[in-house]
Amino acid sequence: MKAKAFSGRLAAWALSALALSACSRQQGGAAEGATGAAAGATGAAAGDKGGKAGGAKIALLLPESKTARYESKDRPFFEAKVKALCPDCQILASNANQDASQQQAQAEAALTNSASVLVLDAVDSASAAVIANKAKAQKVPVIAYDRLVPGTDAIDYYVSFDNEAVGRLQGESLLKALDNKPTARVVMINGAATDDNGLTFKKGAHGALDGKVRVVKEYDTPDWSPDKAQDQMTQALTALNNQVDGVYAANDGTAGGAIAAMKAAGIKPLPPVTGQDAELAAVQRILLGEQYMTVYKAIKPQAEAAAVIAYHLATGKPVPTDITGGKTVSNGTKDVPSVLLVPLAVTKENLKDWVIADAFWTQEQICTAQYAEACKAAGL
């Protein structure tokens, strides 16, 4: 399913939801009660927690700010969609800054503040399961956003990308850049081992790389920290006497750290480096030839899908049955109804077709004075 087609479906759901909201305002509490009853057990539970369209509270719990996307993309897209569907709804947004205990405290504060639904992008799996179980005890539905939360039956929906496919795309792109040479020496800078997504990206990448190149050094990066990724890459270069043919970096932040380490070591030309999230700095590095690729994930339809589900759950309306397309993902405890979007490998050659065409970043944002020549050379 491409992002643009998915956005069209979201627009249809949004029109339907707005019609429902207008109808409820015109007909009053009786119509709202009928809608809540039709929603079934989940809708009724959400209605009990604040099923009125006016004033329903939706908590958005983001994991960290070192990765630029959460505050620059996910949060504004989510908030804008909720406000379009429900101008009177309140959004309780918080960012845990990669601190699991802080995220638990933020979730507890949201529940105390009568949040009708939690949209949870987990810092780590264990603490996220605790949050979800506390929410379930208070009959508050939970949407796992971007990261699946394993080991609990308290997750009502999951909205993300096919994350194993993300790792596979990265691995396959790196193989292409290395001309599929089985002797190529690759350093793997994975994501955080405490993050279910990090483990899934890693699985997908190994599925593509194992047996096809030599993985000579591999690290998991605590907190997805670019600084720690830089330290890890420096260690690898020292151990390998700077003999590296390619770098698997799990996201653009870790890619930036790995590239900084290689530049500091005087490596020229830089070997191909993967990434993920299409951060502005990464897109500009791709234009300069410092980073080979990134994985573009259309965050707007992801955030808007979560907003549509959250709106329906918070206001006691039935969630559109086709929003998941019947898909589920097992978290080890239950099969969670899931919205799974398709990731795309982006290089210098197709950057314009996706990142700019989708207005994820504008040409003006990318092609500042420092990157003018690189943009011209790339046809931007």
Whether residues 366 and 309 fall in one domain: no
Whether 98 and 43 share a structural domain: yes
Do 64 and 108 share a structural domain? yes
Q: Which two tokens stand for residue 105?
A: 């405290």
> Do residue 9 and residue 155 come from a single domain?
yes
Give the structural domain span for 35: 3-161+298-341
Q: What is the pLDDT of residues 159-192, one digit of tens each?
A: 999 899 999 999 999 999 999 999 999 999 999 9
Looking at the structure, tell me whether residues 50 and 122 fall in a common domain: yes
- The β-bridge relationship of strands 142-145 and 117-120 is parallel
- pTM score: 0.74
Mean pLDDT of the chain: 87
CATH of the domain at 59: 3.40.50.2300
Same domain, 365 and 322: no
73 DSSP 8-state letter: I
* CA–CA dist 380, 378 (Å, integer): 6
pLDDT 10s digits, 35-79: 333 333 333 333 334 444 458 999 999 999 888 889 999 999 999
* Amino acid identity at 152: T
Neighbours of 136 (CB within 10 A): 17
Q: What is the DSSP string of 123-173?
A: S-HHHHHHHHHHHHHTT--EEEESS---S-S---EEEEE-HHHHHHHHHHH
Give percent above pLDDT 90 in the chain.
77
Number of domains in the chain: 2
Same domain, 153 and 71: yes
| Same domain membership, residue 281 and residue 223 | yes
User: Do 141 and 222 share a structural domain?
Assistant: no
d(CA 124, CA 50): 29
Q: Is the pLDDT of residue 25 over 50?
A: no
115 and 76 in a common domain: yes
Residue 33 has pLDDT above 70, yes or no: no
